[in-house]
Amino acid sequence: MKTLLPYISTPDDLRALPAELLPGLACEIRDFLIDKVSARGGHLGSNLGIVELTIALHRVFRSPDDVLVFDTGHQAYVHKILTGRRAAFDALRCRGGLSGYPSREESAHDHLDSSHASTALAYADGMAKARRLAGDDTRAVVAVVGDGALTGGVAWEALNNLGAARQRPVIVVLNDNGRSYAPTYGGCADHLDRLRDGGGVTVFESLGLRYLGPVDGHDIPALEQAMRAARELRAPVVVHCVTRKGRGYDPAEQDLDEHLHAIPVTDPATGKPVGTGRSTWTQAFSQHLCELGARRHDLVAITAAMPGPTGLAAFGRRFPGRMFDVGIAEQQAMASAAGLAMSGLHPVVAIYATFLNRAFDQVLMDVALHRLPVTLVLDRAGITGPDGPSHHGMWDLAALAVVPGMRVAAPRDAVRLCELLEEAVEHDGPTALRFPKATAEAEIPPAGSVGDVDVLSSNGQDVCLVAVGPMAGPCLSAAALLSSQGVGVTVVDPRWVIPVSADLRKVVCGSRLVVTVEDGIAASGAGALLRQVCRPGQHVLNLGLPCSFIAQGTRSELLTEAGLTGQGIALAVREELKRWPL
Q: Which entry of 93, 179, 210, 358 is annotated as an active-site residue?
A: 358
Distance CA 374, CA 342 (A): 10
Residue 211, annotated as binding a ligand? no
Residue 279, annotated as binding a ligand? no
516 has which bridge partners? 466, 542
Residue 454 CB neighbours (<10 A) = 22
Burial readout 378-388 (b: 16 or more C-beta within 10 A, e: otherwise) = bbbbbbbbbbb
Residue 343, annotated as binding a ligand? no
Identify whether 358 is a catalytic site residue: yes
Residue 524, annotated as binding a ligand? no
Could you say which DSSP state residue 287 is in? H
Residue 148, annotated as binding a ligand? yes
SS3 230: helix
Residue 115, annotated as binding a ligand? yes
Distance CA 124, CA 532 (A): 44
Residue 255, annotated as binding a ligand? no
SS3 73: helix
Residue 477, annotated as binding a ligand? no
Tell me the backbone φ, ψ of residue 431, rounded to 5 degrees.
-140, 160
Distance CA 106, CA 103 (A): 5
Distance CA 235, CA 170 (A): 7
Tell me the backbone φ, ψ of residue 352, rounded to 5 degrees.
-70, 145
**Cα 10 to the center of its chain, rounded Å:** 30
454 has which bridge partners? 449, 493
Residue 117, annotated as binding a ligand? yes
Q: Spell out the alpha helix ranges (H) of 368-436.
A: 396-400, 414-426
Q: Which entry of 245, 247, 437, 495 is annotated as an active-site residue?
A: 245
Q: Which entry of 28, 258, 330, 518 is annotated as an active-site residue?
A: 330
Residue 147, annotated as binding a ligand? yes
The annotated binding site for thiamine diphosphate is made up of 74, 115-117, 148-149, 177, 249, 330
Return binding residues for Mg(2+): 147, 177
Binding residues: 74, 115-117, 147-149, 177, 249, 330
**Which residues are known to be catalytic?**
245, 330, 358
